[in-house]
Amino acid sequence: MASLDKTSVRSQVDKIKKDFEQLCTDGKVTPEVRAIMTSMLMIIELILAIFLERTTKKNSANSSIPPSQTEKDNSSLTDTGSKDKGKKTEGATVRNRRTIETVTIVPVDFCDKCGANLEDDACTHERRTKIDIVFEKVVEHVDAEVKQCPSCERIVKGKFPADMPGPLQYGLGVQAFIINLLACQMVALKRAQALVYAIIDVVIAEATMLQFVLRLHVALENWELRATEKLLLEAVMHVDETSLRVDKTNYWIHVHSAGGITLKKLHRKRGIIAMKENDIIPRYTGKLIHDCWASYFSYANCGHGLCGSHLLRELTFVVETNRYRWARRMKRLLQGTYKRVADSEKKCLDDKEYARLQKCYQKVLEQGALEMPAIPEKPAGKRGRIAKSDAHNLLERLQKHEASVLLFAKDPLVPFTNNRGERDLRMSKVKQKVSGCFRSIEYAHAYCRITSYLQTMAYKGINPMIAIQMALAGELGGE
């Protein structure tokens, strides 16, 4: 028996439909048989569409599944690495760092061939450099004098510095280093404890390390309020959400990104209840860029733009499963429009070009409506919605949200993708893989606020160690 694949199955069904239509045209089919065969072919089309979708594996290229959850490939064997060296940070260094630089001259007094004296001859230099790390623990003792007044016999004690309220405390350098390990580098608590011990030969209790995190969390409260107000003034804002396990319960991190600001909020819910209590989107009046999550469209106070990357991946899946021509043409249309917008000086299309784009867009959707198998009517008395294939759902979404899909071509401030929001959320998934989940909701909230602050400062090119020390020292001001 000949092997069957997606292409051969689809071609066989198309051939049967074509032969049946020819028989109907020639008048060789009775009306009764024609009605029965039409219904059967419609059912076969639906079954085939769903079957091909079920048997096609989803990956990061045709769906929203991240690369970490897809099968490994061999791209790393031929990948020469990224040429981009990343965003450079500002020249300032952390306060508890000291650089000792020495220059040693290796003299040449005699010729190693003939023995001639070269002490007074002119020379040039060839330099070689070695960089190393020498860990240095700074221990500062402050002894306050205690005296008894001879007149009134009162015990008088000298005042300790304000940053030394107890018998033992750790400086801002140690606190910033530990917070950087836990929040930025996502090192597990015990491993961070072991690393600090290896450097300063002091075992810092896990509870003490967590107190450093809570201290920074409290110190950033006013910063978060100011960042929220600045965020509401931005013309375009990226939003997204991802799950996070807290005490064996599923929570959601909601990210709001615009300009140089990133703000994350943790909530038990994902939809409208969370957005209302976070109180950012209900007050926002700009353009909201998202991945078509229905809850976002419930807010009419702002504009909406859909992520083109999500749509292209979904179109790729439809093309791979059912070979629909409308999906291939829509993919080419969106990709071509994005390139034309990116290459234009104004970063948008003029009115005539946009009108032509709408016409082409609607024409592709009309073709899709004709090419897709019809959805049977819901039987009378049956509750719920009729199950549809991914291709049907995508087509209906493109029809319903045409203005949001094409907003990037009309507004020069609106990007084609929602990559900014997804990038700002990505490391939280890495954190969850390292630690499994947060044991306490308090530390989960602290993680969201601290990483929001550090990502915001990173967009400004500020070293995270400097940013943490600034916040702990209360030097943020109007930042």
pLDDT (tens digit per residue) in 242-288: 999 998 899 999 999 999 999 999 999 999 999 999 999 999 999 99
- Asked if residues 171 and 196 have their Cβ atoms less than 8 Å apart, the reply is no
Give the tens place of pLDDT for each residue, 321-367.
Answer: 888 899 999 999 999 999 999 999 999 999 999 999 999 999 999 99
- Asked if residues 462 and 90 have their Cβ atoms less than 8 Å apart, the reply is yes
- Asked if residues 398 and 405 have their Cβ atoms less than 8 Å apart, the reply is yes
More confident site: 89 or 346: 346
Q: Is residue 314 part of a domain?
A: yes
Q: Is residue 409 part of a domain?
A: yes
* Euclidean distance between CA atoms 241 and 229, whole angstroms: 20
The CA–CA distances, whole Å, from 387 to 1, 13, 46 equal 33, 22, 10
User: Total structural domains in the chain?
Assistant: 1
Q: Is residue 322 part of a domain?
A: yes
Percentage of residues in the chain having pLDDT higher than 90: 56
pLDDT class for 131, splitting at 50, 70, 90? confident
Q: What value, to the nearest 5°, has the Cα angle with vertex 244 and ends 172 and 444?
A: 30
Q: What value, to the nearest 5°, has the Cα angle with vertex 450 and ends 445 and 452?
A: 95
How high is the mean pLDDT of the chain? Answer: 86
Q: Is residue 226 part of a domain?
A: no
**Cα diameter, the chain:** 127
424-431 long-range contacts, CB within 8 A, separation 24+:
424/238, 424/240, 424/255, 424/257, 424/262, 424/264, 424/455, 425/240, 425/241, 425/242, 425/253, 425/255, 425/264, 427/186, 427/451, 428/242, 428/244, 428/253, 428/264, 429/66, 429/68, 429/242, 430/186, 431/186
Q: Is residue 339 part of a domain?
A: yes
Structural domain containing residue 361: 308-373+388-417
Of 23, 58, 55, give the one whose Cα is nearest residue 38: 23
Instruction: Provide mean pLDDT across the span 388-410.
Output: 93
Q: Is residue 360 part of a domain?
A: yes
Instruction: Provide mean pLDDT across the span 127-150.
Output: 89
* Euclidean distance between CA atoms 295 and 444, whole angstroms: 24
Give the tens place of pLDDT for each residue, 409-452.
Answer: 999 999 999 999 999 999 998 888 887 788 899 999 999 999 99
Q: Under the phi-then-psi rule, with left for phi > 0, alpha for psi from -120 to 50, and beta for the rest, what region is 139?
A: beta
pLDDT class for 207, splitting at 50, 70, 90? very high
Q: What value, to the nearest 5°, has the Cα angle with vertex 33 and ends 30 and 38?
A: 120
Scored b (16 or more CB within 10 A) or e, 397-426 reads bbeebeebbbbbbbbeebbbbbebbbebbe
Percentage of residues in the chain having pLDDT higher than 70: 86
The CA–CA distances, whole Å, from 94 to 99, 199, 473, 478 equal 11, 17, 13, 21
* Euclidean distance between CA atoms 208 and 59, whole angstroms: 43
CA torsion 270-274-276-277 (nearest 10°) is: -170
DSSP code per residue over 94-123: -TT-------------B-TTT--B-TTS--
**Three-state secondary structure readout of 155-221:** EEECCCCCCCCCCCCCCHHHHHHHHHHHHHCCCCHHHHHHHHHHHHCCCCCHHHHHHHHHHHHHHCH
Q: Is residue 135 part of a domain?
A: no
Q: Is residue 348 part of a domain?
A: yes
Q: Which of 46-50, 102-106, 351-355, 464-468 has the lowest average pLDDT?
A: 46-50
